[in-house]
Chain A
Amino acid sequence: MSKFDVINSYAPRIDCPDKATGKAIFTDDLSKPGMLYGAMLQSPHAHAKILSIDTSKAKALEGVKAVITSKETGSVKYGVSPARYDETMFATDKVRYVGDEIAAVAATSLEIALNAVALIQVEYEVLPAVLTVEDAMKEGAPQLHEAFTNNLCAEVHQEFGNVEEGFKQCDIIKTTTMKNKRQDGAFIEMQACIAEYDRRGTLTLTTSTQVPHYVQRTVAMVLGMDVGKVRVIKPYVGAGFGIKAAANHQELACCFLARMLKKPVKMNYTREQVFMYGRARHQFSHTITTGAKKDGTLVALKHECYLDGGAYTSFGIATVYYTGSLLAGPYKLPNMSYDGYRVYNNKPACGAQRGHGAVIARAVFEQQMDMIAEEIGMDPLELRIKNMMNTGDTTCNDLNMSSFGMSECIEAVRDGSGWDKKKGNMPKGKGIGMACGFFVSGAGFPIYRSDTFHGTVIVKLTEDGGTALVYTASAEIGQGSDTAFAMIVGEALGIPLENVRLASGDTDMGVDLGAYSSRQTLMTGHAAKEAGEHAKQQVLEVLAEQLDTPLEDMDIKNGCIEFKNQTPDFSALRTRYIKEHRGWTDNPESEKLTFKEASRIAFLEKGSIVGTGKYRPHWLGGKFKGAAVGTSPAYGCSAQVAEVTVDMETGQITIDNIVDAHDCGKAINRNSVEGQMQGSISMGIGETMHEEVIFNDKGQVLNSDLAEYKIVTAMDMPPVKAIVVESDEPNGPYGAKEVGEGAIMPTIPAILNAVYDATGVRMNELPLTPERVYTAIQAYKERSNA
């Protein structure tokens, strides 16, 4: 039995009746009176100088209201990390990838807007383009950004402990290389936005984003407006997975046009534009060396990685740090070095995607764990348990595991999968594999340097006392955060979920950094809890006075007032309440004093009862350069076992099932926790098996649709057993921490280890297309026969 009344249960989500009936409103479902339609001109070249832009024909087209280029908008630089603002709304002197934005049009219809875009004449001087990391780093290669020589966007060099000395103590040293392919978020809702500007100077942007707060700040900065004059509203969003975690060009252009024309403007990406915008998972090329003693003790890890960054930085600075920092756990590892390089080239920028920066590094390392286990004749599961960190441990790069149910997760998947019986006993062509992973529960610091609160929440009780209204600027993008916060407020106030109503995703409601780095449950959750408790405190204060009972002797639970000692006579209060509610049908009959009565009385005494809550993490991490990236108040952990069947003749892999156990601290809503686990696995399977953005030699995306960019379909998804493992996270609200990203960490290596078990082949390149697997099997056969 849970000690909680609202949270820690399996609750149907509050947003789902509207979503199930088609009533839930997404950005493109909206239209505004007098609305114009915008469209953008994007570069057809991967790299070119802009010699001239002639917009006269476009402007002359009937129905066109404005055509803007950098001449009109100026060239305020922006980006994600203030340390690396390298983008402008529109290209000024040159374009750096196919899709780089050049101009935008607003017109009375989309058709006219698109026709006008086609009439803009740009004279280009085409420059040689570099499309790979290797080409971009060659001597004399064409340079993308003057300030960054050799196309090196960012580099990281870190060493913790002494890696060289460490290797000297090792009996086994494994070096492997691996690369994945650039991914796409492939959320189903394409980015869309509507901007409006009122005559008092307020700009309102309704947009499909994960981060209203950062979009608000970027729009204000680029358009030269006060932050307070920019309001960003996020309606329901058709998911983001990291790609919608920063302002995009369309949002900026749309805002500019709306302010200029004083009319609402709507803009939508097509699916092709979603691919051109990119900002999803980088292509990583890793070389990792891991050393262990013959008893299996891990000693040292040396890691080098090149990130194929694309034309701009986006999240890249954070990415290149995350890639290194998150290998320091979950195993005890005293010595670790990392050299990371993020390289510019003439493709769309890469950014953050679920499991930011860390997914492929994890895939390499977890395979090496299996290689070491095999060499010393140890069960790979036991090797992991042997090296596992414990609650309270700190990694060599100062990440503290304040709760850590990793070993419990391993035991859960051992039992759940029948590991002990199956491992080593799979028939030919079938294999079983496992892996572990962990992830932050929110970044320890905001993206821009600031002491800002990471989240604020307001709880206001309705004047009748019956309902708690929750206002938060956090972003429900499908993960279930609205329900989680409503549950947390219900728990904190002591009232059932059905008496909580929540509004979110509006910068007017407060500050919230938004949905990224798996931060909301922990961070916004804290603020929601505090706001709920604050409101409760105020109700109880009034009650203490009215009933002449010490406040500490009272509590609210399940919508009723609980008295620690004898229940005082509250009949006067009840009578007052009933008088107040004359003609209403909700007169309380319970023997207990209800929250509703107490809350109504509190309103009559003090006016609006408003509880506020806020959260920012305590100072986290070490003192070295880049120490901030990877810090978090808490880390979620995950273990998975995958079973596969490999068709040895064609290389086709079928994933037969996956068992996943995740330590999410205390689960707020098990329904959503399981959903995040299953969803992470499906994305992990897609990345392992068939997802890759493919370019031709001109830098154009060849598969910019959901037919040729292959995400997992209903036919591909294996049965998944999701086991929720709970720990009590001291830094989390009610002990809660992340689940949204940690669950993708083990998926890729678990499958890779299972494929090895089935075939004897180690795959060093993703995705595992039948052809790639077939080729590897053929090469293996030739080696074995030689």
Chain B
Amino acid sequence: MKKIVTLTINKEHYEVAVEPNRTLADLLRYDLGLTGTKKGCDTGDCGACTVVLDGDVVNSCLVLALQADNTTIETIEGLSNEDGLHPLQEAFVEKGAIQCGFCTPGMIMSAKNLLDKNGNPSDTEIREGLSGNLCRCTGYTKIFEAVSSQCSDNQGGSNE
């Protein structure tokens, strides 16, 4: 039986009726049209569906929509605004950290959450903070460059 969930996504308030077997990923994509969040496996292995749920990154394919009741969610759509791209998104574009782009929204959400919690992660911390987001195109090299360019130590200067 459907139940009503109330949640805040990218600062907007939503009230939706969902079946208990609906995942958060499917709610976002198919019910709310927030298709920036991708699905690459549906089993929590690839990270393409990464969103921030109450401050932590999760695989939204492994969260029930009902579990998201009364939570605050950030998706890729919430990062850019009318003034332009988020600096991290800008860095991904500038550094060539995007190829097919399918892992990108999840990758950026993980990277943003990492930087939100630790403004100056080490190289190892960056790798760990992205370890659940698989990318088959880039070999991660330019992704690391993009993320480390946004570390507080590297702001305004070049990295490496």
Q: Which residues of A contact B (CB under 8 A)?
A: 12-13, 15-26, 28-29, 31, 185-190, 236-239, 241, 270-271, 477-480, 671-672, 674-675, 678-683, 705-707, 711-715, 717, 719-720, 722
User: Which residues of A lie under 8 Å from residue B30 when comparing CB positions?
Assistant: 31
Q: B93 at interface (Cβ–Cβ under 8 A)?
A: yes
User: Which residues of B lie under 8 Å from residue A186 when comparing CB positions?
Assistant: 134, 136
Judging by beta carbons under 8 Å apart, are A705 and B93 in contact?
no
Judging by beta carbons under 8 Å apart, are A682 and B43 in contact?
no
Other A-B pairs beyond A20-B93, A26-B38, 7, CB < 8 Å: A12-B93, A18-B101, A20-B92, A187-B100, A238-B102, A270-B42, A682-B136
Q: B149 at interface (Cβ–Cβ under 8 A)?
A: no
A28 with B39: in contact, given A22-B77, A675-B142 (CB under 8 Å)? yes
Please give the number of chain B residues whose Cβ is less than 8 angstroms from any Cβ of chain A in the complex: 53
A-B residue pairs in contact (CB < 8 Å), sample of 13: A16-B93, A26-B35, A188-B134, A188-B136, A236-B100, A675-B99, A678-B141, A679-B138, A705-B43, A706-B134, A707-B45, A714-B135, A720-B139
Judging by beta carbons under 8 Å apart, are A675 and B136 in contact?
no
Nearest chain A CB to B132 CB, angstrom units? 8
Judging by beta carbons under 8 Å apart, are B101 and A236 in contact?
yes
Judging by beta carbons under 8 Å apart, are B40 and A190 in contact?
yes
User: Which residues of B lie under 8 Å from residue A479 when comparing CB positions?
Assistant: 99
Q: Which residues of B contact A (CB under 8 A)?
A: 29-30, 34-43, 45-46, 48, 75-77, 79-80, 85, 89-90, 92-94, 96, 98-105, 108, 126-128, 130-131, 133-144
User: Which residues of A lie under 8 Å from residue B48 when comparing CB positions?
Assistant: 188
Judging by beta carbons under 8 Å apart, are A29 and B29 in contact?
yes
Nearest chain B CB to A682 CB, angstrom units? 3
- Alpha-carbon distance between A18 and B102 when the two chains are bound, in angstroms: 11
A189 with B137: in contact, given A20-B93, A29-B29 (CB under 8 Å)? no
A-B contact count (CB 8 A): 175
Judging by beta carbons under 8 Å apart, are A16 and B134 in contact?
no
User: Which residues of A lie under 8 Å from residue B79 when comparing CB positions?
Assistant: 21
Nearest chain A CB to B35 CB, angstrom units? 4
Nearest chain B CB to A95 CB, angstrom units? 26
User: Which residues of B lie under 8 Å from residue A722 when comparing CB positions?
Assistant: 141
- Alpha-carbon distance between A22 and B74 when the two chains are bound, in angstroms: 12
Judging by beta carbons under 8 Å apart, are A238 and B77 in contact?
no
User: Which residues of A lie under 8 Å from residue B139 when comparing CB positions?
Assistant: 678-683, 712, 717, 720
- Alpha-carbon distance between A720 and B141 when the two chains are bound, in angstroms: 7
A671 with B127: in contact, given A17-B85, A20-B104, A270-B42 (CB under 8 Å)? no
Residue of A nearest to B110 (CB): A714
Judging by beta carbons under 8 Å apart, are B135 and A188 in contact?
yes
Q: Of the candidates A12, A23, A239, A705, which one forms a contact with B99 in the assembled complex, judged by CB atoms under 8 Å apart?
A: A239
- Of all A-B residue pairs in the complex, the 3 with the closest CB atoms, nearest first, are A22-B36, A478-B100, A19-B101
- Alpha-carbon distance between A270 and B40 when the two chains are bound, in angstroms: 9
User: Which residues of A lie under 8 Å from residue B43 when comparing CB positions?
Assistant: 271, 705-707
User: Which residues of A lie under 8 Å from residue B35 when comparing CB positions?
Assistant: 22, 25-26, 28-29
User: Which residues of B lie under 8 Å from residue A672 when comparing CB positions?
Assistant: 96
